[in-house]
Amino acid sequence: MKFLLLDFDGTLIEDNGGVAYDPPRVTLLPGVAEGLKKLQDAGWRFFIVTNQSKIARGIATEENVDACISRVIQLLQEEGVRIDAAEKCPHRVEDACVCRKPKAGMWEALRKRFPGLTAKETILAGDMDRDMQMGQAIGCRTARIFVSRHPRKFSSTYLVRSLSELADLLLAPAERIRSLTDVARWAEEERVQGKTVVTTNGAFDFFHDGHRFLLEEARKHGDVLIVGVNSDASVRRAKGEGRPLQNAETRALSVARFADAVFIFDDDDPRSWLPTIKPQMHVNAATYGEQCVERPILDQIGAKLVLVPVKQELGSTSQFLSDVHPPA
């Protein structure tokens, strides 16, 4: 069994800026029902944990807040998604309670009601630093729903745009992530069977539509797509401190949805492993050009270089970073 702790405002519904709710008009954020249904079908269970200081501050009544939470639970039920329980903290920061995030009081309350809850099997999903801090206090993994207006001073296990994207990541085929040795052996078996092996590589930090386009285009050029993902150390050398945004295993999971095999490598470019895998085709973004660093190796092993155009409208990690507050 696996468990997902869900923040409320900014994660399940639009953050209303701290005013009283209008429950009949509340709607779910895009991807919420879709993502939770995928996870529920895979055996996940869900719990809401939400700070609601508007109660203590006299902005909203407890009845108003409870009505909104009930409305969200009802909306999810209508989509076939069950919320097992909800915990709220009604206090202000200055009340110094034990339940307000980033403290773990709501987690402890849930554990008393559901003894089977374990930190090892839990992920906390939210859009703010205090959600990530609560996850750290619990000792569980964390998933940050990216909202550009919130600073990112605390890192997370996963960084996604929606709960639907989180579901796709958590349900990605992890068995496709293999060692370079295993991938090379498998590539040879595929070549013997007359199949065309295609390779490409990258950091794939904060997976976006531009990455998806590259991989989908790469797949068109052969029968088997193998992708090398730069290690954390490799990304850090190339892009500096603060990168990557997610660890190599998480980045490899994002890629595994679109590749037949994925491996993590520590070199700065693919020249070291291309002779090991011996692809017939190697795909690069067009920005690297015909005379890219791996061209001599490709010529040596008789592999064709394919350049995929970069579509700026699909976005890039650099563009994403220019719109957010980086972690401290």
Q: Token pair of 246, please? A: 């997610």
Q: What is the mean pLDDT of residues 63-85?
A: 98
The CATH number corresponding to 2-170 among 3.40.50.2300, 2.40.50.100, 3.40.50.970, 3.40.50.1000 equals: 3.40.50.1000
Higher pLDDT: 324 or 45? It is 45
Mean pLDDT of the 211-238 span: 96
- Cα separation, 219 vs 260, in Å, equals 9
> Residue 130 corresponds to which tokens in the numbers above?
């205090």
| Range 175-314 classified under CATH 3.40.50.620 | yes
User: Residue 248: which pLDDT band, with cuts at 50, 70 and 90?
Assistant: very high
Closest residue by Cα to residue 316 from 262, 245, 223, 222: 245
Q: Identify whether the C-beta of residue 211 lies closer than 8 Å to the C-beta of residue 311.
A: no
Residue 1, pLDDT above cutoff 90 = no
> Residue 328: what pLDDT?
39
Mean pLDDT over 34-42 rounds to 98
pLDDT at 108: 98
The 8-class DSSP code of residue 257 comes to T
CATH 3.40.50.620 segments of the chain = 175-314
Q: Where in the chain is CATH 3.40.50.1000? A: 2-170
**What is this structure's pTM?**
0.89
Report in angstroms the alpha-carbon separations of 157 from 82, 225, 317.
25, 26, 17
Widest distance between CA atoms in the chain = 73
- Mean pLDDT on 49-72: 97
Mean model confidence pLDDT for the chain? 93
At 173, the pLDDT band (50, 70, 90 cuts) reads very high
Q: Regarding predicted confidence, which is higher, 105 or 328?
A: 105
The least confident of 44-58, 113-127, 203-217, 305-319 is 305-319
- Four-residue CA torsion sign, 115, 31, 157, 257: positive
Q: Which residue has the tokens 């650099």?
A: 318
pLDDT of 268 over the 70 cut: yes
